[in-house]
Amino acid sequence: MKKGSKNPHNTEWNKKIREGVARQHKEGRGNSFISEDARKQARIATWKGEEVGRVGLHRWVAYWKGRPRECEKCGSVNKKKYEWANVDHKYRRVLDDYIRMCTSCHRLYDMEFNNYKQK
């Protein structure tokens, strides 16, 4: 086929794709072709319960508590990054056991805990 010529099958297919994407955006589902039920099943299949790792647990906390924007230890609000710090270092699914800290305070907090634990 020459460059610039129209392929009716290709045009029809592209039109269907564009309509589907536009419909999903309108419905608030983004441009994914995965159904909401399939997404729910995927989340259920990846749920680890209490066997979750440290990173997964911090993501869980961020999901429920939002993104931290200040440090509860030094009071800063203009640092580049803030994190959720686990207070008792037991890493359980207890939302009240996490506080907002800037990265530097979080590192110092964890180092103090580890030094105390080693003594």
pLDDT category of residue 31 using cuts at 50, 70 and 90? very low
Q: How far is CA 27 from CA 14, 32, 40, 98, 111, in A?
A: 20, 11, 17, 35, 47
DSSP state of 91: -
Does the pLDDT of residue 98 top 70, yes or no?
yes
Does the pLDDT of residue 37 top 90, yes or no?
no
Does the pLDDT of residue 35 top 70, yes or no?
no
pLDDT of residue 99: 93
* pLDDT tens-digit map of 39-86: 665 555 555 666 677 778 888 888 888 988 999 999 999 999 999 998
Contact indicator for 102, 71 with CB cutoff of 8 Å = yes
- In this structure, the number of other CB atoms found within 10 A of the CB of residue 72 comes to 14
- In this structure, the number of other CB atoms found within 10 A of the CB of residue 101 comes to 24
- Token pair for residue 34? 């995965």
- Token pair for residue 8? 């009716």
pLDDT of residue 46: 58
pLDDT of residue 107: 93
Phi, psi of 101 (to 5 degrees): -145, 150
Contact indicator for 60, 46 with CB cutoff of 8 Å = no
CA distance 88 to 32: 40
